[in-house]
Every structure is written in structure tokens, then in C-alpha cells.
Amino acid sequence: MSALSAKDLKKYHGRPSLRLVDPESLAALEQSRKIEVLSLNHFHRIRSLEPLSSLTNLRALFLTTTNGWDGTNRHLLVETFEPLVALRRLEIVQILGVVPERDRLQPLSRMPSLEKLSIGNTSFYQLEDFAGLSVALPRARGSLQPIYQMNFISRCRRCKKHALLFLAGAKQRSPRYVCPACGKKKIISHLQRWNSAGGVPQYDAPEKLGVADLMDTFGNPNAT
């Protein structure tokens, strides 16, 4: 569940697309059946994603809140992600600060075309949600790691040495940015939790992983 890179998005430049910011309804989608890229931003007046199910050419979908909500844990509520299951060509999905009333991320597990997921900006989603998807979606596994490094480097304030790693789906009120040295215990228990949830890949003997191993496995070579 890493962030999307410019490279991920480049593929979709110039494709037929639609961006709706704070729409009153999704009626506009009826005239947009051919679009391949859809961005819905700050759609707080919309609860049902059902109108999306007719967009069968869709390859990339971005469901996001306004930037002003970043880091506030405020989120948009939708009924369910079930209507997305009809989108058999969808490759990339970004869900930032959007939470379903039911089914959690389970509908996505029935979308084998998915290659890349970026889900976050809320503490609603838990490690078990991502572990479940890692089993069901082999093509998207690379973006469903339990730990990753953001595109920006922030150093540990304690040791002032190592770059912090992000724990995907950490428990509420538990720290999400953790130093691979100072926060080793948190990292071990996070990986054990992933293993118990049946996530793929499984991490053998997480307690034996040193800082270099952790950075090799979860570091982001493009972080600056």
C-alpha cells in the first residue's frame, strides 16, 4: 500500500479522463462511459458509488478528500466499494480518506485486474485488510506491503540517523512512523501480525531482521 509515483501515473496521461470536484451528483458519468481515468475529489454529497459501475473502460480511479483534510483523519463515507467490482479493466485505485459503511476492502479482492493500490489517509483500514488483498491480488502485491518508506525522507528524532518507515494499517493511536533501529520491537510485532493474518509474502523470523535488511526490503530507493 505504497504511495503512487509519477511513473505509475504517466501511463494514463492523455487518456480520456474526467475530474469532478465536490459534485452535486454523479449524473455526469452517464455521458462519460468511455473515460479511462476518473478522479472524484471531496465528493461529500455522494454516498453511493453505483453510477461508477457502468464505466467499464475505466483503468485508473482516484477517490480522494480535499488536501485540507490530510492528517486530520476526517474522511468521506460511501456505502460500499461493491460497484467497483464491475470494472474489469481497472488497474490502479487510489482511495485516500474514503471509508465504506460496509464490506471494508473486500470487494477489491474480486478485482484480479488490479495492479496497484494506494489506500490511506485514515486509520480505518487495518493491516488485516491489506493482508487479505495481498492473497487475493497477486498482480497488486508489490503495492500491498505491510511496511514501506514514503517518497520523502524523515529522520528519526531520537537517533537522528535512520529514515523512518511507515507501518500500513497500524492500530489506532499506535505510532505509524517508526525508526528501523529505535522502533525495532514495533516493526517485529507488525510483521508478526501480518504473518498471522496470512499476508503474502510471509516474513521469516522478523526478529532477526537488522536495519540494513529492513531498508533493503521496505526502503524506497526513490525517496528524497
Residues near Zn ion (CB under 5 A), total: 6
Count, residues in the chain: 224
Radius of gyration of the chain (CA): 18
179 near Zn ion, rule: CB under 5 A: yes
Q: What span, in angstroms and rounded, lies between the C-alpha atoms of 145 and 33?
A: 33
The smaller minimum CB distance to Zn ion, of residues 141 and 184, is found at: 184
The smaller minimum CB distance to Zn ion, of residues 37 and 156, is found at: 156
Longest dimension (CA), the chain: 56
The one segment of 56-64, 136-144, 149-157, 207-215 that binds Zn ion by CB under 5 A: 149-157
The one segment of 56-64, 67-75, 132-140, 152-160 that binds Zn ion by CB under 5 A: 152-160
- Identify residue 42 by its one-letter amino acid code: H
Nearest Cα to Cα of residue 165 among 157, 173, 174, 155: 155
The smaller minimum CB distance to Zn ion, of residues 93 and 164, is found at: 164
The one segment of 38-46, 88-96, 171-179, 212-220 that binds Zn ion by CB under 5 A: 171-179
CA atoms within 13 A on the CB side of 25: 4
Residue 169 CB, shortest distance to Zn ion, in Å, is: 22
Nearest Cα to Cα of residue 119 among 134, 99, 147, 139: 99
Give burial (CB, 10 Å; 0-12/13-18/19+) of 6. exposed
Among 19, 158, 171, 185, binds Zn ion (CB under 5 A): 158
Among 156, 165, 167, 187, binds Zn ion (CB under 5 A): 156
4 near Zn ion, rule: CB under 5 A: no
The smaller minimum CB distance to Zn ion, of residues 107 and 206, is found at: 206
104's torsion region: left (phi>0), alpha (psi -120 to 50) or beta? Answer: left
211 near Zn ion, rule: CB under 5 A: no
Residue 157 CB, shortest distance to Zn ion, in Å, is: 8
Question: Where do contacts with Zn ion occur on this chain (CB under 5 A)?
Answer: 156, 158-159, 179, 181-182
